[in-house]
Amino acid sequence: MKSAEEIMENLEAYDLTGSFRDAAELAGFHTVAAYVARRDAGQVGRAPDTPVLTTARAT
């Protein structure tokens, strides 16, 4: 998992260049597209969705 600072570097590089490839080269990361997609979906800053295990209780 990347730090918040690294994620922001990815997003800023994309906003500056408008290109996933150029942003990855500029920021030094290859996950630019994934973080841009999460930002566009309103999910940046949230932990990825993980399944929650539940157990049924007898009542």
- Residue 22: inside a domain: yes
Q: Domain containing 14: what range?
A: 4-40
- Residue 24: inside a domain: yes
Spatial distance between the Cα atoms of 20 and 7, rounded to a whole number of angstroms: 13
- Residue 45: inside a domain: no
* Residue the block writes with tokens 């918040």: 4
- Residue 20: inside a domain: yes
- Residue 34: inside a domain: yes
Count of structural domains within the chain: 1
- Measured between alpha carbons, how far apart are the two ends of the chain, in Å? 40
- Residue 25: inside a domain: yes
- Residue 32: inside a domain: yes
Identity of the amino acid at 8: M
pLDDT digits (tens, 9 = 90+) for 9-48: 888 999 999 999 999 888 887 788 888 898 898 887 655 5
The answer to whether 10 touches 35, Cβ cutoff 8 Å, is: yes
- Residue 19: inside a domain: yes
Question: pTM for this structure?
Answer: 0.63
